[in-house]
Amino acid sequence: MMMFSWKLAIRYFLHRPASWLAAAAVALCTFIVIVVLTVMNGLAADFKQKNHAFVGDCVIASDSLVGFVYDRSFVETLESQPYIEAVSESVAGVGLITQPGANWNIGVQFLGIDSARHSAVTGFADSLYYHRDNPEQAFVPDYAPEQEGCVAGIDLIGGRRTADGGYAHPDRPVPIRLILSSFPLTARGALARGGTDLVSSKTYYVADDSHTGLPQIDGAMVYLPLRDGRLLTGMDSPVERISSIHIRFGPSVSLRQGVERVRGLWAVYLQSQSDRSYSDLFESVRVQSWQENRRSRIAAIEKEQKMLILLFLMLGIITVFIVFVIFYMLVGHKSKDIGILMSVGMGRHKIAGVFLKFASLIGFLGAAAGTLAGCVFLVYINPIEDWLFARFDFQLWDRSVYAIGEIPNQLHPDLLLAVAVSAVAACLAGAMIPAMQAARKETVQVLQVSQV
Partner 1 sequence: MDTIIRAENIHKSYRMGRERLSVLRGASLGIATGSFTAIVGASGSGKSTLLHILGALDRPDEGRVEFEGQDLRRFSGRRLNQYRNRSVGFVFQFYHLLNELNVLENTLLPAMAAVGSAGWIRSRTSRQEAACVLLERLGLGGRLRHRPYELSGGERQRVAIARALMNRPALLLADEPTGNLDSKTGFGILEVLKELNRGGQTIVMVTHDDRIAGLAEVVWRLTDGKIETE
Residues that bind partner 1 (CB under 8 A): 1-4, 7-8, 11-12, 14-15, 336-337, 339-348, 350, 442-444, 447, 449, 452
314 vs 449, which CB is nearer to partner 1?
449
The alpha carbon of residue 245 and the mean position of all alpha carbons in its chain are separated, in whole angstroms, by 24
32 vs 340, which CB is nearer to partner 1?
340
71 vs 337, which CB is nearer to partner 1?
337
User: Least distance in Å: CB of 415 to partner 1?
Assistant: 34
DSSP conformation letters of 383-399: HHHHHHHHHH---SS-T
User: Least distance in Å: CB of 8 to partner 1?
Assistant: 7
* Alpha carbons 74 and 63: distance in angstroms, whole number: 19
Cα atoms in the Cβ-side hemisphere of radius 13 Å centred on 229? 30
295 vs 333, which CB is nearer to partner 1?
333
User: Least distance in Å: CB of 3 to partner 1?
Assistant: 5
DSSP conformation letters of 226-257: HHHHHHHHTTTSSS-EESEEEEEE-TTS-HHH
Query: Dihedral of CA 326/332/336/338: which sign?
Result: positive
116 vs 436, which CB is nearer to partner 1?
436
55 vs 431, which CB is nearer to partner 1?
431
11 vs 227, which CB is nearer to partner 1?
11
State the DSSP code for 168. -
* Cβ–Cβ under 8 Å, residues 409 and 42: yes
User: Least distance in Å: CB of 340 to partner 1?
Assistant: 5
CA dihedral 53, 56, 58, 63 (to 10 degrees): -80
User: Least distance in Å: CB of 413 to partner 1?
Assistant: 31
User: Least distance in Å: CB of 364 to partner 1?
Assistant: 19
User: Least distance in Å: CB of 431 to partner 1?
Assistant: 18
Beta strands 177-182 and 84-98, pairing class: antiparallel
Of 225, 241, 221, 231, the residue nearest 284 (C-alpha):
241
